[in-house]
Structure 1
Amino acid sequence: MKKIILVFIAALFVGCTSTGVQVTFEDKKSNAIKQAYVEYMNQNFEGDIWSQDLQFYGNVTDPIGYDEAKSLIGLHHELYDDISMSWGDGEEVNEIAFVQTINYPEYGYVSQAWFIWKGTGKFSGETVEIPCHIGYLWGEDGKVINEWQHSDQSHLKAELELSIAAAE
């Protein structure tokens, strides 16, 4: 009788094992994204989480590659002062970003991040707060192979135009 009970309990635990989509929050990939944001804030763009074959989609359907994406991200610090990123109400929750990683059995790992990006334009003097959502698809080698950024880029474009006009 004891053996039957043990077999039943073992079958129950095996039957409860999750085999579908799994969502995690403080895993290695989510924490790597948060650390990359810390490096971004420190103007260090030499992150080792991105593949050299990265396909970067910044509100567009035609991607750019690793080097061009790296230059574009670096442009933020050329155009803005006092850059910060935050998620939460600032009292109970105060994080650089909310990041989760999802394991899709058919597709692999996808990390997603949400945050408010804030900066003061060096040319306009305007301080802006922009809600952002970024998705990251991880390759089999543990590096990000696709990145999708979703945010309002109108202020960035206007600030870039002001910087070009100031250089003329």
Structure 2
Amino acid sequence: MDLAKHAKTPHQIPPATYLAQFLGLSKALVKINEKALHRDIKPENILVVGSAWAISDFGLCDLCVGGQDLSRVDERIGPALWMSPEAFNKNLGCPDGIGQTSDVFQLASVFWYATCGRHPTGIVRDTDWRGPAELFPILERALLHSSQDRFQTSAEFSAALEAAIIR
């Protein structure tokens, strides 16, 4: 089952479950980003197998060559409803670069969805957040419109999550 289906089951995902899975998924993204950009992180690509969640579907992965974005300027990159602002802009012909900040944005969007049951469209506010208060500032930063203001690497994002969850 994927996270999109799992999150729609009648029960809400308890914090003890999703917090542990957020740590695992963020660490998995660090490993992925050592070699590639995933570019297609969405609830349908998070598999729920027993008590573990795993990132799947590497069909849109882009190998990192010297940290440069190898995609074309007009290339549609990522899941339509879960793309980062820079991926949307690149699809429109803007010369925005796709990097780890884009993968972080997508994973943070999935975390918001798993916690709140809705997509974090627009400017997120603490009043919209349904999870532990200490996670809000981390997700808020990861979901900022400007990639320059987000965590610059998945390792930074994972470390911030870990510090907030395991305090």
TM bucket, shorter chain: under 0.3
- TM-score, normalization by structure 2: 0.27
Structure with higher helix content: 2
Structure with higher strand content: 1
Greater Rg over alpha carbons, structure: 1
